[in-house]
Each structure stands twice: as C-alpha cells, then as structure tokens.
Amino acid sequence: MDLLGGPAGEHAQAVRIAGRALAREDLLTRAAAVAAEIAGAEAVAVHATASLETVVAVVGGILAGVPVVPLPPDSGPAERAHILGDSGARLLLAARGAYAAGDGDPPVVPVDDLTRGDGARADVPGDAPALVLYTSGTTGAPKGVPVTRSAVAAGLDALAEAWEWTPDDTLVHGLPLFHVHGLVLGVLGALRVGSPLVHTGRPRPELYAEAAGSLYFGVPTVWSRVCADEEAARALRGARLLVSGSAPLPVPVFDRLADLTGHRPVERYGMTETLITVSARAGGERRPGQVGLPLAGVATRLAAEDGSAVPHDGETPGELHVRAPMVFGGYLNRPDATAEAFTPDGWFRTGDIAVVGPDGWHRIVGRASTDLIKSGGYRIGAGEVEDALLAHPAVREAAVVGTPHDDLGEQVTAYVVAEGVGERQLIDFVAGRLSAHKRPRVVYLVGSLPRNAMGKVVKTRLK
C-alpha cells in the first residue's frame, strides 16, 4: 500500500527543515538507499530530531515496509531503553554524529552515509504497521502503538477532505517529529497530499511569519506565543488555515488569534491510538473551546461509568468512545492493556471525557483519570473550570485537578499562573461564571505549569 502519493511534482521542493531543503525526487532517492539498507528488518528506530535525516529515515522505512519507531531525542536512558527493547528495533537510524550510542543499543546507521538504492517500493499490505509510536507514559512505561499503513492513509485522506488540503498549499510547522501531530500529519500528510512542507526547526513566531505558508499547524503554546508577537501574528493574515491541536486551545487565545490574524483557528481532536478523528472544517464553522464533528468514516459515542449511553445534549459529560478505520488494533506486547482499551462491542475507550451537542459538535472536557472531578455528588469537568479561570485578564495559564476532601470526596483545586490577583478573587470570579459547586476551593498561584513536548500540562506532576 503506497502512503506517499503519486509522482506528480517530484521535482518541486518537498521538505525544508531549518533552512535545509530536499526536492521530492531527491528525498525519494535518499530514502530508497535507506530502504535498501534496512530491508527485512523487524523494526528500525529513528533518532527523531527535527532534521531532513529524520524525514529520509522515516520515508525509507515506509518504502521498505519496515515499521519505524520514532525515538524522542530528549528521552532519558530508561525511556530510551524501554522503547528500543519493547519495539524490537534491530537498527537505529540517525544523522551522522547526532546520536551517542549507549550500552545495549542496536547498531547505529548514519543516514548521511546511505547513497545507493534501486528506488523500488515494497509491496506491503495495508494492515502492516507503518509506525510504532509510544504514548507519553504519564501512568507508567510508554505503550507501543502500532499504526498501520491503511490507518495512516485513512486518517490523512479524511483530514485532506476536512481541511481542503491540496498540493497548492504550503504547510508550515515547527513541531517535534516523533508524535502524530508533527510526524504523521506534519510530514506524511504533506507528502501524501503533495504539498511542500516548511519545518521551521523551532516553532518560533517570527519563523512562522517568515515562512509565508498557506496552512499552519501549532499547539496551544505556539499560538499563545504567536499572539504575544503581534507583528508575527499579523503576518499570518495571508494564510488560508491555522490548525491547533494536541491540547485544548484556551478560548482567550482563540479569540486573540482570530483578532490578530483574521483567522478563526480550526481545532481538532485525536490520540496516538486513533490519529485524528474529530475536527472543525475549513469550509465550516469554528467554535472556541470545541473540536468539531467526526471526520468521514468516524463514529463516536459517550458512555457513563456503568457503560450506559450518555445523551448528546451539550451538557452531560461522558467517556468518548471511537470507532474508525484509523483506530489502532492493540498495544504492542500488552494484551492486558489492549483488552481494557476496547469495549466488548469493539469501540475504543479514549479515556477522555467529552460533551456532545445535539448538532454533533464535540467539546473535550479532559482525561477521565485526572479531569473528571467528583465533588459532593457532582461530576465536574476540569476543562470548564480552566476556561473560566483563563477568562480572567490577569491569568496566563491554569490547570485544575481534583484533590482529596474529607466531606466532598474530591475538591476542585486550581494551579494558576497569574499576576496582580489573589486566590480569593479567582475563586469568586469562577463562582460568578459557573455553578457554585464548580468553583475552586483551593487556588495555588505558581510560576509555571509542567508541560510535555507537545505543550500538554502534565497534571500528575502538580503538587
């Protein structure tokens, strides 16, 4: 199954990363050399820096039909050892001199030294894994997620339709190349559609502005920084579409971005296990704080803790279940985790709490494990309280969790980055916007919130 699209435009620039560029034809030639080197391997790891070598290595794995395991370049020794051992990677592809091999690592193959390949593409079935991506591991060791070639194709084609993404677009982003957002959407998506890709190396506002693209990807942290640089933000007025994902986009950032750039951003929802399943449309409405409608071929539902159906009334939260051609089939080497992840009738349990309106629009409240707070008999979504806090002009960041309470079971506790405002003022501010039982009972003013590489707050690290 061919994931990379047809030969049209092969002489045009395909990928530019931090000022270095490869035409599509040159990219495929170099990737063919990688494919020849790794042919027959069980799996290969890629030291996934933001570099042309990473793209060449990943495309080489796809051409060879060998599953690619992106290795985060900032991973610690324990995480790295777990990913390499669990995935069964027999080789590690990296730019020459970029990876310092440790004891027990597989042989390192410098991508730069591979120059010869016959250009043939392996005939690989659609149900074969193209990638093995690892989850963030916030509740234990990262789990391997095999993503099949047909899942990648289905997901990218559905997004191309939803975002009206064509070869005439130039995609710009500066996201890491070891996650769904930066790698699958941001590299394989551009190659499959046939649109040029400009990767800025780092997602800095001035680099986004200089790229002069038509389609931009960013996480909320990126868009918040763009809004803080008004000159860079206004330079994006010539774009066609701004897309935000990987974490909820705060409503004040949505509004500020729309004001400065003239674009109401498209928000979307997905996971490593499902790729992207829900999104607003390029040609349709975009609502602050909501992620839109299911993509083509995607079905969703909400379930209560006892498994019963939750109404799509725009008010009642439930766990989001998904069924779609882009959903994975099970975790690598983890039959126990796989069994827990799927319902008896075959739906994937996302672990995310959502509210769905009568018109089908989805709003993600948060994770069931950290963002559904049960206080005094009420079920409270942390995301709703966070949005209320972020509406205060003095608040820059906010994270809400449930903490133990002798009487209520759990109390709403907020960690807030703000200036010139006190805890009681923030509690009263939320109480004036939401039901009284949703107000924080405790507010901690902090200097920063712990975030992972994709800008998501790591709530397990809030103390």
Domain ranges of the chain: 13-186, 372-461
- The confidence score (pLDDT) of residue 8 equals 44
Residue 447 has pLDDT above 80, yes or no: yes
- The confidence score (pLDDT) of residue 338 equals 96
Mean pLDDT of 411-423: 95
Mean pLDDT of 111-125: 81
Q: Which of the residue ranges 76-80, 103-107, 123-127, 159-163 would you say has the lowest mean pLDDT?
A: 76-80
The C-alpha atoms of residue 116 and residue 21 are separated, in whole angstroms, by 20
Instruction: Please provide the distance, in angstroms rounded to a whole number, between the alpha carbons at the two ends of the chain.
Output: 48
Work out the pLDDT band at 392, boundaries 50, 70, 90.
very high
- The confidence score (pLDDT) of residue 407 equals 76
Which residues, 6 or more positions from 275, have their beta carbon under 8 angstroms from its beta carbon? Answer: 147, 151, 152, 155, 180, 184, 326, 327
The C-alpha atoms of residue 40 and residue 91 are separated, in whole angstroms, by 11
The C-alpha atoms of residue 283 and residue 151 are separated, in whole angstroms, by 25
Work out the pLDDT band at 408, boundaries 50, 70, 90.
confident
Chain center to CA of 49: 17
Mean pLDDT of 50-66: 97
Global confidence as pTM: 0.85
Return the higher-pLDDT residue of 250 and 341.
Answer: 341
Residue 11 has pLDDT above 50, yes or no: no
Residue 367 has pLDDT above 90, yes or no: no
Contact 159, 193 (CB under 8 A): no
Would you tell me how many other CB atoms lie within 10 Å of the CB of residue 391? 16
Mean pLDDT of 260-267: 98
Residue 370 has pLDDT above 90, yes or no: no
Which residues, 6 or more positions from 345, have their beta carbon under 8 angstroms from its beta carbon? Answer: none
- The confidence score (pLDDT) of residue 140 equals 63
279-329 residue pLDDT tens: 999 999 999 999 999 999 999 999 998 899 999 999 888 999 999 999 999
Residue 147 has pLDDT above 90, yes or no: yes
Percent of the chain with pLDDT over 70: 95
253 burial type by CB count under 10 A (0-12 exposed, 13-18 middle, 19+ buried): buried
Q: What is the mean pLDDT of the chain?
A: 91
Percent of the chain with pLDDT over 90: 73
Mean pLDDT of 342-368: 93
Which residues, 6 or more positions from 294, have their beta carbon under 8 angstroms from its beta carbon? Answer: 277, 278, 300, 324, 360, 362
Which residues, 6 or more positions from 197, have their beta carbon under 8 angstroms from its beta carbon? Answer: 14, 15, 16, 170, 171, 172, 186, 187, 190, 191
- The confidence score (pLDDT) of residue 12 equals 65
Residue 368 has pLDDT above 80, yes or no: no
- The confidence score (pLDDT) of residue 9 equals 45
Contact 163, 282 (CB under 8 A): yes
Work out the pLDDT band at 21, boundaries 50, 70, 90.
very high
Would you tell me how many other CB atoms lie within 10 Å of the CB of residue 288? 16
- The confidence score (pLDDT) of residue 77 equals 83
User: Which architecture, in CATH terms, is 372-461?
Assistant: 2-Layer Sandwich (3.30)
Q: How far, CA to CA in Å, does 425 sit from each of 139, 196, 394, 419, 439?
A: 34, 49, 11, 12, 11
Return the CATH number of the domain spanning residue range 13-186. Answer: 3.40.50.12780
